[in-house]
Amino acid sequence: MAEFAKGLEGVIAAESRICKIDGEQGRLYYMGYSITDLVEHCTFEEVTYLLLYGELPTREQLAVFSAKMRNARELKQPVINMIKDFPKKAHPMELLQSVISYLSSYVEHKIHHGPHCNCRDTLHQLAEMATVVATYQRVQEGKEYLPPRKDLSHGANFLYMLRGEEPDPVEGEIMDKALILHAEHSFNASTFTARVVASTMSTCYCSISAAVGALFGSLHGGANEKVMDMVDEIGTPQAARDWVNKALDEKKKVMGMGHRVYRAKDPRAIVIEGYLEELSEMKNDRNACEILKEVESAFRERMEEKGKPIYPNVDFFSGAVYRMLGIPTRLFTPVFAIARAPGWLSHILEQRVDNRIYRPKAAYVGSDHRPLVPIEER
Amino acid sequence: MAEFAKGLEGVIAAESRICKIDGEQGRLYYMGYSITDLVEHCTFEEVTYLLLYGELPTREQLAVFSAKMRNARELKQPVINMIKDFPKKAHPMELLQSVISYLSSYVEHKIHHGPHCNCRDTLHQLAEMATVVATYQRVQEGKEYLPPRKDLSHGANFLYMLRGEEPDPVEGEIMDKALILHAEHSFNASTFTARVVASTMSTCYCSISAAVGALFGSLHGGANEKVMDMVDEIGTPQAARDWVNKALDEKKKVMGMGHRVYRAKDPRAIVIEGYLEELSEMKNDRNACEILKEVESAFRERMEEKGKPIYPNVDFFSGAVYRMLGIPTRLFTPVFAIARAPGWLSHILEQRVDNRIYRPKAAYVGSDHRPLVPIEER
């Protein structure tokens, strides 16, 4: 039998300059800049520029880029129709995947002009995602398409479209920063999908559409939804400790705890916990926040008994933040896609610079040659 | 520097029981049955059954399966609208990718019921492809949607929808057999994409949509289009020999020659060359056929001088067959997708049986930590 690594675990698939994860120290860098610095100093559009160009923009560069990205927010009528016709019970990720490849048709792709072609100019593949998701939700609620606003940040405009009114500036900023936290995280199934599709010289729209399909899978996106299911099940902070002890006694999984690559606390968890605190104060509703803190503390005590510290990851807090911002649970994974789109595009561009088509081998373990009996004699 | 195989070349990504390629002998097997036996004895629906269930069907099993697949051919009105609204100059692969994930929304996915869930029952992800492609072409020609017919084979019905009239039975059969030839070919970028997306437990529709995105890339699909460009450039059989010699002297690539895995003649090329002969006689037009034969012979002579035999692959003849069947060049890659869909679904089902999410590593070669200068100071 041939030896191989299932799921390509531990196998290097490519070199990359985009994302560095220091799991031991609990650090995350985009293009060399720490995530903590990025959320402190930058907007989502600025980070998008960084991911697409490899450098932070000057004020002039950002003004041009920002205008381009904001101009790309509006939906065309056929896309609005796709959203309106979309079956009510179906998942918005299927819609998002579908729309992004449909949008590919509106753009003249100049892939033969070089690896970056015009992917950084059209920006519909990034900008329209938020509009599609917000419009999907509006249609679910029986509302009409609300055109995006160009005077708001990517995060604030998303909340505006969702609610039909401008959010408080603090909420808009937290939404924008939450997107930064999820913009990139090296190779994972969706980013790898984007690179594999891009390696055929398909368009960046078609590659991102494919990545959305991967993120839709329950083993990939969706962890923060499950955390909120847990919060709802626990109900009150007082019930949290017993719930955790019971869950651990029954060897059930506590959602949002631990991370494949972080041995220390996920740096994004620290930032987003701060946003949850801020929103909880602002909205005078500390219930979810307190439940999560109790779960974390009860969980840590049990783990310390065993001598193996496990910390909360970003998903542990992000769902509660989204809910405080008025985002329905069904949109959590689509919001992840909105945030991750610049990361995907960054990997697509990098893949094309020194490309080879992905074509691994299969180890054949099937039948030897079988004689074919025609159907009349079967 | 970390060592790694670019494009995962030579790296085993999974075990598989679906497809065996014997490149030395020029043999290809689906589930143990040789491609030569399959095209001789089976229909495309029968081979689809084989790929999805691992065994050839009995007459009763095929009757049930066939009825299910034919019932899944019709388009819903929102999909017809998507096709009508699709920008005229855009590529039908973008549309096909978009429609397949859109269709995911009409199906109740039972992935938690087990790896095969209900993927083999709904069959819209396979059956509607032909209808979408034919309808795309009809709309391009200013015609209306023509509902599919249930009394025709998959291949014959495709030609019927395209032309608006029933094809000659020989044409219908050749179309159906040509689809069999392309139904499966082990791992390649699109099939691997389907498996990566499926490994997240995304739906089979979303996984196949992603695979369409990969097949769209110019390094993957599209070789038979380029062969026909060559045929058109050559023009007459008399001009073929000089054209080949000139091309080889100038070190240009002759399209449709050689194959990464076949050292002998691609067994599919032998079969499809026979179809080309048959159609050329039937239509009393031997021009393309003679040009290709001259190119093959001139090319072989030059290669024999160098002592390295290189044979034509399936793409060398398939474009000429499609053209004789009245299929426009723009539809060649979409026809490939129609044919390959059962292979993709077969791999998706196999992936789920013993799944691990695909998550290879990146070798980080980017900047060390860079201090962030706020935008005001840049």
Query: Is residue B9 situated within a structural domain?
Result: no
Are A366 and B95 within 8 A, CB to CB? Answer: no
Question: How is residue B147 annotated by DSSP?
Answer: -
Q: Is the ipTM of this complex over 0.95?
A: yes
pLDDT at A1: 60
- B263 in the same domain as B151: no
Query: Is residue B7 situated within a structural domain?
Result: no
- A89 in the same domain as A208: yes
**For the residues A263-291, what does the mean pLDDT come to?**
96
Q: Which of A4, A37, A361 should we substitute to test contact with B (largest number of B Cβ atoms within 10 Å)?
A: A361
**For the residues A238-267, what does the mean pLDDT come to?**
91
Q: How many domains does chain B have?
A: 2
* Closest chain A CA to residue B3: A12
Q: What is the CATH number of the domain that holds A282?
A: 1.10.230.10
- A55 in the same domain as A204: yes
SS3 call for A161: helix
| A362 closest CB neighbour out of B16, B34, B99 | B16
* Closest chain A CA to residue B188: A359
Q: How many Cβ atoms are within 10 Å of A42's Cβ, its own excluded?
A: 24
Are A104 and B94 within 8 A, CB to CB? Answer: yes
* Closest chain A CA to residue B221: A200
- B133 in the same domain as B22: yes
* Closest chain B CA to residue A186: B362
Indicate the angle between helix axes B154-163 and B169-181, nearest 10 degrees: 120
SS3 call for B153: coil
Instruction: Give B204's contacts (C-beta < 8 A, 6+ positions apart).
Output: B109, B119, B125, B198, B345, B348, B349
User: What is each CA distance from A173 to A44, A277, A290, in whole angstroms?
Assistant: 10, 14, 23
* Burial of B27 (C-beta count, 10 Å sphere; 0-12/13-18/19+): middle
Share of chain A above pLDDT 70, in %: 100
Cα A111 to Cα A204: distance, rounded to the nearest angstrom: 9
CB A45 within 8 A of CB A177: no
**For the residues B202-221, what does the mean pLDDT come to?**
95
Could you give the count of Cα atoms lying within 13 Å of A266 in the half-sphere of its Cβ? 22
Q: What is the CATH number of the domain that holds B339?
A: 1.10.580.10
Query: Is residue A3 situated within a structural domain?
Result: no
Tokens of A158: 């998303």
With residue B27 as reference, give the H or E element that holds it.
Answer: strand B27-30
Is residue B178 scored above 80 in pLDDT? yes
Query: Is residue A358 situated within a structural domain?
Result: no
Number of residues that this document lists for chain A: 378
Burial B129-160 (b: 16+ CB within 10 A, else e): bbbbbbbbbbbeeeeebbebeeebbbbbbbbb
CB B347 within 8 A of CB B191: yes
Instruction: Give B53's contacts (C-beta < 8 A, 6+ positions apart).
Output: B120
Q: Give the B window 22-61 contacts with A, CB below 8 Å.
A: 29, 31-34, 37-38, 40-42, 46, 56-59
Instruction: Give A304's contacts (C-beta < 8 A, 6+ positions apart).
Output: none
> Could you identify the residue written with the tokens 């689906």?
B30
Cα B228 to Cα B196: distance, rounded to the nearest angstrom: 33
* Closest chain A CA to residue B39: A372
- A349 in the same domain as A247: no
Which domain range does residue B107 map to?
14-216+329-353
Is residue B3 scored above 90 in pLDDT? no
Is residue A290 scored above 90 in pLDDT? yes
What does the pLDDT look like over A180-234, one tens digit per residue?
Answer: 999 999 999 999 999 999 999 999 999 999 999 999 999 988 889 999 999 999 9
SS3 call for A345: helix
> What average pLDDT does the structure give for chain B?
95
Distance from CA of A86 to the nearest CA of B (A): 7
Give me the residues paired with residue B257 across strands. B312
User: What is each CA distance from B198 to B203, B348, B354, in whole angstroms?
Assistant: 7, 6, 12
Q: Which of B73, B17, B20 is nearest to B44 (CA)?
A: B73
Query: Is residue A85 situated within a structural domain?
Result: yes
Contact status of A141 with chain B (Cβ, < 8 Å): no
Q: Where are the alpha helices (DSSP H) in chain B?
A: 35-41, 44-53, 59-71, 77-85, 92-103, 119-122, 124-140, 154-163, 169-181, 189-198, 204-215, 223-234, 240-249, 267-282, 287-305, 314-324, 332-353
What does the pLDDT look like over B236-282, one tens digit per residue?
Answer: 999 999 999 999 999 998 999 988 888 888 999 999 999 999 999 99
pLDDT at B356: 96
- B270 in the same domain as B342: no
pLDDT at A305: 85
Query: Is residue B1 situated within a structural domain?
Result: no
Q: Which residues of A touch B14 (CB under 8 A)?
A: 4, 6, 362-363
Q: Which of A21, A18, A15, A17 is nearest to A47 (CA)?
A: A18
Indicate the angle between helix axes B332-353 and B44-53, nearest 10 degrees: 20
| B13 closest CB neighbour out of A42, A354, A362 | A362
The amino acid at B266: D
- A135 in the same domain as A96: yes
- A312 in the same domain as A294: yes
Q: Which residues of B touch A184 (CB under 8 A)?
A: none
- B280 in the same domain as B343: no
- B26 in the same domain as B107: yes
Q: Which of A102, A190, A220 should we substitute to test contact with B (largest number of B Cβ atoms within 10 Å)?
A: A102
Are B362 and A10 within 8 A, CB to CB? Answer: no
- B229 in the same domain as B207: no
| B210 closest CB neighbour out of A105, A187, A210 | A210
> Could you identify the residue written with the tokens 């004895």?
B41
Are B214 and A196 within 8 A, CB to CB? Answer: yes
What does the pLDDT look like over B311-363, one tens digit per residue?
Answer: 999 999 999 999 999 999 999 999 999 999 999 999 999 999 999 999 999 99
Cα A122 to Cα A127: distance, rounded to the nearest angstrom: 9
* Banded pLDDT at B1 (limits 50, 70, 90): low
Share of chain B above pLDDT 70, in %: 100
| A189 closest CB neighbour out of B16, B41, B359 | B359
pLDDT at B265: 86
**For the residues B282-305, what does the mean pLDDT come to?**
94
| B366 closest CB neighbour out of A31, A58, A101 | A31
- A246 in the same domain as A127: no
* Banded pLDDT at B2 (limits 50, 70, 90): confident
Query: Is residue B2 situated within a structural domain?
Result: no
Give the distance, in angstroms, between the CA of residue B369 and the centroid of all CA atoms in the same chain: 45
Q: Which residues of B touch A37 (CB under 8 A)?
A: 371-372
Are A188 and B14 within 8 A, CB to CB? Answer: no
Q: Which residues of B touch A7 (CB under 8 A)?
A: 199, 356-359
Cα A31 to Cα A39: distance, rounded to the nearest angstrom: 14
pLDDT at B364: 97
Contact status of B284 with chain A (Cβ, < 8 Å): no
Are A90 and B105 within 8 A, CB to CB? Answer: yes
What does the pLDDT look like over B253-264, one tens digit per residue?
Answer: 899 998 888 888
Q: Give the B window 92-121 contacts with A, CB below 8 Å.
A: 93-95, 97-99, 101-102, 104-106, 111
What does the pLDDT look like over B103-124, one tens digit per residue?
Answer: 999 999 988 888 888 999 999 9
pLDDT at B305: 85
Query: Is residue A80 situated within a structural domain?
Result: yes
